[in-house]
Amino acid sequence: MHLSPSSRAARRRLKRREAMAGILFVLPTLVIFVVFKFLPIAGAGAMSLTRYRLNGDVSYLGAENYTRLFSDPHFWQSLGVTVSYVLIFVPLIIVVSLAGALLLNKMVRFTGTFRAVLFVPYLSSFVMAGIIWSWIFDMDGPLNAALGGLGLGPVPFLTGDQLLVLASLALVSVWKGFGYSMLVFLAGLKAQPAEVHEAARLDGASSWQAFRHVTLPLLKPVMFFVLVIETIIGFQVFDTIYVMTGGGPNRASHSLIYFLYDEGFKFLDFGYAAAIGMVLFVIVLVLSLVQRRLVEGKETK
């Protein structure tokens, strides 16, 4: 079928209008991404190559800030603290969130009420949560009073060894943030086909077998999303540490973000702080890509 020149011109105009409509729909999101994501990252990258002072004194250093950073023992200590915290926080919040979602998914009555109640901590501020939990974990606080009544003695949750301090901080972050991940898992569970679970039940699969071989595989995309989000949150931990421990005791909770805060806002070395931020950005980006590759590899197998 041959189209007349006027028909071809009309079709081209229609395609141009459709393309323009698509561009207009995408443009607001693109502008927001460029202004609030790309430009700050690019600006931080440029600043990391300079000695930047508040008085406007800027001098180009090249890779000197990065050379200094990788030879700074405080950087490696803060990186170790952050990795240790993430290794405690991420598995814990995934287990707690998934368990909460499974319980809510099994409930018949009052599901909405429990969902709202469990989501309340997520809506609270980290500062408020930090103040409340600092009181709970205090040597003279209610938790140690209860432990003392059981003959277990006071436990230095925030002033003891590093593992105990990081575990206590991770517990607070889990309490604060698990409501969001729980709802994400719950949405994933609700989206699973009922026929698949019914087929597993008819095949004689136990609850554990159905969970392991049916529920979990179907949750892989959701699991990956939660894993990436919580890993990013773990590497960016600051508020809880700032309120509860101040990076102590003896730098036991001095995370990378706290290190960045000290260099940028205490010592006003913004170029060096920007270099710390760029290294943290690269670490999180690489971890996210590795996690994605691992999940995709398992799905392919």
Give me the DSSP letters along 263-299: IIIIS--HHHHHHHHHHHHHHHHHHHHHHHHHHHHHH
pLDDT tens for each residue of the chain, 301 residues long: 555 666 666 677 777 777 777 788 888 888 887 887 788 888 888 888 888 877 677 788 888 999 999 999 999 999 999 999 999 999 999 999 999 999 988 887 777 888 888 888 888 888 889 999 999 999 999 999 999 888 887 889 999 899 999 999 999 999 999 999 999 999 999 888 888 888 888 877 788 888 888 888 889 889 888 998 999 999 999 999 999 999 988 899 999 999 999 999 888 889 999 999 999 999 988 988 887 777 666 555 5
